Amino acid sequence: MPHQYPSPIRAWYLVILLTVAYVFSFVDKYLPALLIEPIKTALGASDTQMGLLLGPAFAVLYATLGLPLGWLADRVRRNSLVAAGVALWSLATASSGLAANFTHLLLARVGVGVGDAALAPGALSLISDSFPPHKRGRPVALYISAQSFGAGVAMLGGGAVLAWAATQSVIDLPLVGIVAPWQFTFLAVGLPGVLVALLLLVAREPAREPIREPACEPAASSGPSMAHTLHWLRARWQTFGSLTALVSVMTIVAYSQNWYAALFQRNWGWDIARYATWSGLALIIVGPLVVTVTGWWCDRQLGRGRPHGPLSVVIAGTVLLLPPGILAPLMPTGELAFGIWLLNLCGLSMVSAAAPVALLAITPGEMRGQVSALFYMIIMLTGLVVGPLAVGLFNDQLFAGQRLDLACALVPLSVGVPGLALLRYVRRHYVAATAV
């Protein structure tokens, strides 16, 4: 019996809710990047410590829990799972505003990672079951556009809240007491996410697509086991492994740029409000526009019978993002650096939008939750651990804390050469997989 997809109105309502949740997740992830300098001043942290805060503190449990939560997403009510994650990371972000020292803030960021781990596998599985294959590009693109839009909201909203808080002589909150402007910003940005969690909790969930053969054994009526999924992937490791490695290049470059607020302040004298406004507008306008066009491009290629089309977009985005990612931190002025970074943003957005479409196109419906969780576990762990931490370590260990510009340029340079060398290998195996 063919799968019964929900009505377009109900399907798109769910996509919009998931997209709003994703926006909040990126707001909560990007906010510490905007607040690097005030946090360093208040807590006396080094660049290496801030690299830990921006990346590994969030990434370790995010990655560790991603796969078991993906397994759950293939078995339990996905709306409830996602709603619980949204509520947890929102409360953890708010609690960052109560941190009295670096250790407390580090633990709060760990909590954000735990909550965020539930979103990606549940969301992609829900979207896949709401639309037929040839119509998934645009809803996936809308959902992925939250990456750029959420980062932009974090910059604009976080910058506005911080600027307002900085004008107050004293911020004295009920039950909390006196807080610094950066602490108030965490509280103000984190708490609204709880409302999104409630809306997701009561939303209707689409039926799951029926199990296809030969991906899963007939007896596995409740969904394939994690062991079975890993066995299935192991037989196709070249295709999935090379795709994951290529997308990891993008995440490393993207999360190394968590340092850009500090870079623009230290190198070119931009204050937080100016950087937040410029970058926020770019992320809100340019990012979603490129992602939307990318989703249309993927749908068009798939509709024309080109199953490897989404991978071609991933490759084009990778080639586009690397050179400006290396050059932007080395520019003589902040304005020129910002203009070059816009090209990098276009490439990052292309890869972000096309990669999940490429992944879903070669993954059976009954194991999309687990495969998506494994995919995001690897690329996010790689990007969040390597990207921000490498910048802090490079600057502290190689440049004595004095050349953040060189540290930021060195990260995309060091991952770019292996990434470009991987392109032909990825394409060969993906084309073979889609030809089956």
DSSP category for residue 269: -
| 42 part of a folded domain | yes
Q: What is the CATH number of the domain that holds 266?
A: 1.20.1250.20
Q: What is the pLDDT along the chain (436 residues), one digit of tens a residue?
A: 566 777 888 888 998 999 889 888 888 877 888 888 889 888 888 899 999 888 888 888 877 787 788 778 878 888 889 999 999 999 999 998 888 889 989 999 888 888 888 887 788 788 888 887 777 778 887 887 777 777 788 788 888 888 888 888 788 888 888 888 888 988 888 888 899 999 999 888 887 766 554 444 444 445 677 788 888 888 888 888 888 999 999 999 999 999 999 999 999 999 888 998 999 899 888 888 888 888 788 877 777 777 677 888 889 999 999 999 999 999 999 999 999 999 999 999 999 888 888 888 788 777 777 787 788 878 888 998 899 999 999 999 999 888 999 999 999 999 988 888 888 888 888 888 777 6
- Say what the pLDDT of residue 117 is: 83
Q: Please state the domain count of the chain.
A: 1
- The answer as to whether 396 is a domain residue is yes
Q: Nearest 5°: CA angle at 52, between 183 and 191?
A: 30
Q: For the full predicted model, state whether its pTM sits above 0.85.
A: no
Contact 416, 322 (CB under 8 A): yes
| Within a domain: 378 | yes
- Name residues whose C-beta falls within 8 Å of residue 177's C-beta, 6 or more positions apart in sequence: none
Backbone dihedral region of 44: left (phi > 0), alpha (psi from -120 to 50 degrees) or beta? left
pLDDT at 3: 67
CB 113 within 8 A of CB 61: yes
Residue 172, burial from CB neighbour count under 10 angstroms (0-12, 13-18, 19+): exposed
- Is residue 382 within 8 A of residue 251, CB to CB? The reply is yes
- Is residue 233 within 8 A of residue 413, CB to CB? The reply is no
pLDDT for 222: 56
Amino acid at 329: P
Q: Is residue 207 in some structural domain?
A: no
Whats the size of the chain, residue-wise? Answer: 436
103 falls within a domain: yes
Tell me the C-alpha distance between 328 and 97, whole Å. 32
pLDDT at 404: 94
Domain span at residue 103 reads 8-202+225-434
Residue 1: the pLDDT is: 56
Classify 330 as helix, strand or coil.
Answer: helix
User: Which of 53, 38, 43, 154 shows the shortest CA–CA distance to 111?
Assistant: 53
What is the C-alpha separation between 24 and 214, in angstroms, rounded? 38
* Residue pair 343/320 in contact by the 8 Å Cβ criterion: yes
Residue 2 lies in a domain: no
Task: List beta partners, residue 177.
Answer: 173
pLDDT of residue 384: 86
Q: What is the pLDDT of residue 251?
A: 92
209 in a structural domain? no
DSSP letters spanning 12-41? HHHHHHHHHHHHHHHHHHHHHHHTHHHHHH
Q: Is 175 left (phi over 0), alpha (psi -120 to 50) or beta?
A: left
* Rounded CA separation 144/88 (Å): 21
3-state SS assignment for residue 219:
coil
- Tell whether 170 is covered by a domain: yes
Nearest CA to 262 out of 401, 59, 415, 383 is that of 401
- HSE-up (13 A, CA, CB side) for residue 83: 17
How many whole angstroms separate alpha carbon 413 and alpha carbon 327?
A: 9
